[in-house]
Structures are given as structure tokens and as C-alpha cells.
Amino acid sequence: MEENEKKIQDVLAKLDERQINYEMQRHPAVDRIDQIADLNLIHPETAAKNLFLRDDKHQHYYLVSIMPQKRVDLKAFRKEIGARHLSFASAEDMEKYLALRPGSVTPMGALNDTEHQVQVYLDQDFQGGLIGVHANANTATVWLDADVLSAFLTEYGCRVAYAAI
């Protein structure tokens, strides 16, 4: 089985094991949120834009999922969460902590963070509604209730919180 397909199947198996309701859609690989317009997604308005950030000391890592039309004000976000200066984490850090490559960032990557080094923040605008996230590969998107996603990740020991982003 190809690596991406294995990643997708692992995520789906975990969701199925917990009897979590979701919708899944396969699609061509997308590396940026602006590419989703061409995909004819079933719920494009809730397909999360994901950022992998780190503080300036490389001590704290954050996976941030926001509504697709939003832009992140890193200064305001940093203040809200009480973090040091933030910037984008490297591809090497992404692989190390999330076992993901650029273009595939997703909260589901936190399942690979066995040391629980990454704090996941979901845009509070997702709370109580749908969120679409990659299934650890950028060729499949899974839609599920954001609160269920938060509880699911928390069950695996991931640190998850909502934030005004």
C-alpha cells in the first residue's frame, strides 16, 4: 500500500473504531488552501486552512486550524495564547513532530506526536460545527464535527483548544 493511502486508512480506522461519524472525500493532491476551489469539495466553506508554527526558541510548536477565508494575525494570536514570537516551523520539524510533509498539515497529524509536543488550536468559528481536515495526506479530506475532532484528539493525549483566531 502506498504511503499516503496507508496514512489515510490509519486515520479512518481510528475514526471507525470509535464509531465517529464523518464524511470523506478523495481528491487530487492540494498543497495550499487556494487550490480547493478547483476540487468541487462537498463542504468547501469548512475545509480548514492549517498552519504549523513554532516559537522563536524552537521550544513550543502549534498546529493552528482556521476557517479557509481567514488570515492569521500571528501577533494577536501569540498574545492570545501567551506565546513568544511565532513563525512557521520547518519541514524538518513537521516531519519530526507530525510525520507530515508541507501541504499535508492537519490536526490529524497530532496523532503521530507521541511525545505530545504540539499544541493544536482550532478556530473558535469551527466550534459546534463541521471542520474539514486532511486525513494525514493531502489527497483526502474528512469532515466531522469540530467538537468531536477535539475530543477524539484529546483521547489520544493531544492538547487541543479553541482560540479566537
Whole-angstrom CA distances from 137 to 50, 77, 129, 154 are 13, 27, 23, 21
pLDDT reported for residue 8: 94
For the segment 48-73, the average pLDDT, to the nearest whole number, is 94
2-49 tens-digit pLDDT: 988 999 999 999 999 999 999 999 988 877 777 777 777 888 899 999
Determine if residue 133 is left, alpha or beta; phi over 0 gives left, psi from -120 to 50 gives alpha, anything else beta.
beta
Res 152 pLDDT > 70:
yes
Q: What are phi and psi of 151, to 5 degrees?
A: -65, -40
Q: Which domain holds residue 139?
A: 3-163
Burial class of residue 56 in the structure, from the number of CB atoms within 10 Å of its CB (0-12 exposed, 13-18 middle, 19+ buried): exposed
85 Cβ contact partners less than 8 Å away, ≥ 6 residues apart: 55, 56, 78
142 forms beta bridges with 24, 133
CATH number reported for the structural domain that contains residue 26 in this entry = 3.90.960.10
pLDDT reported for residue 158: 95
124, 165 contact by CB (below 8 A): yes
Domain count, the chain: 1
pLDDT reported for residue 1: 57
Average pLDDT across the chain, whole number: 93
| Alpha-carbon gap, residue 112 to 75, rounded angstroms | 28
131-145 tens-digit pLDDT: 999 999 999 999 999
9-15: list long-range contacts, CB under 8 Å, 24+ apart: 10/136, 11/108, 11/111, 11/135, 11/136, 11/142, 12/135, 12/142, 14/111, 14/152, 15/142, 15/144, 15/152
pLDDT reported for residue 135: 95
1-10, 53-62, 77-86, 113-122: least confidently modelled range: 1-10
pLDDT reported for residue 45: 92
For the segment 87-93, the average pLDDT, to the nearest whole number, is 96
